[in-house]
Amino acid sequence: MGVSQQNRPYHTPWGYAILVDMTAPTPIRGYTASKDQLLARLRRVEGQVRGIEKMVDDDRYCIDVLTQISAIQAALDKVALGLLDGHARHCMHEGAAEGRADEMATEMMAAVGRLMKRG
């Protein structure tokens, strides 16, 4: 998949929700999601893709298939925003403490650029 195999040092491994539960009265913010929520959303996306395969297999109307594709794109955008949010709040915070703030901001902006252009 063209993705580095080692875990990066300043990566908060989706443990955010647990962190929030511990610090108690902190409000749940914007897009940040726990690992379980992310996995649940991704499994739903996987099901939506399978739904489209079935629609194509059943010769369903193209416009209806396109509507479902837009729905998947929207769901993936939400997952991506959840990841970006966690990155901006946690990984970047940790990275900053180690003097890697700039490098991580560059990585994040490249990721945002790819999301805006979709790959």
Cβ density class 63-74: b for 16+ within 10 Å, e for less? eeeeeeeeebee
Residue span 39-58 as binding mask against a copy of itself, x where in contact by CB under 8 A, dash where not: x--xx-xx--xxxxx-xxx-
Cα 91 → chain centroid: 14
Instruction: Give the shortest CB-10-to-a copy of itself separation in angstroms.
Output: 9
What part of residues 72-101 is at the interface with a copy of itself (CB under 8 A)? 72-77, 79-81, 83-89, 91-93, 96, 101
Considering the complex, state which of residue 24 and residue 63 has its C-beta at the smaller distance from a copy of itself: 63
Look at phi and psi of residue 59 and say left if phi exceeds 0, alpha if psi is from -120 to 50, else beta. left
Contact between residue 87 and residue 108 where contact means Cβ atoms under 8 Å apart: yes
- By CB under 8 A, the count of residues binding a copy of itself is 77
Instruction: Give the shortest CB-21-to-a copy of itself separation in angstroms.
Output: 17
Look at phi and psi of residue 24 and say left if phi exceeds 0, alpha if psi is from -120 to 50, else beta. left
Considering the complex, state which of residue 53 and residue 98 has its C-beta at the smaller distance from a copy of itself: 53
Instruction: Give the shortest CB-12-to-a copy of itself separation in angstroms.
Output: 8
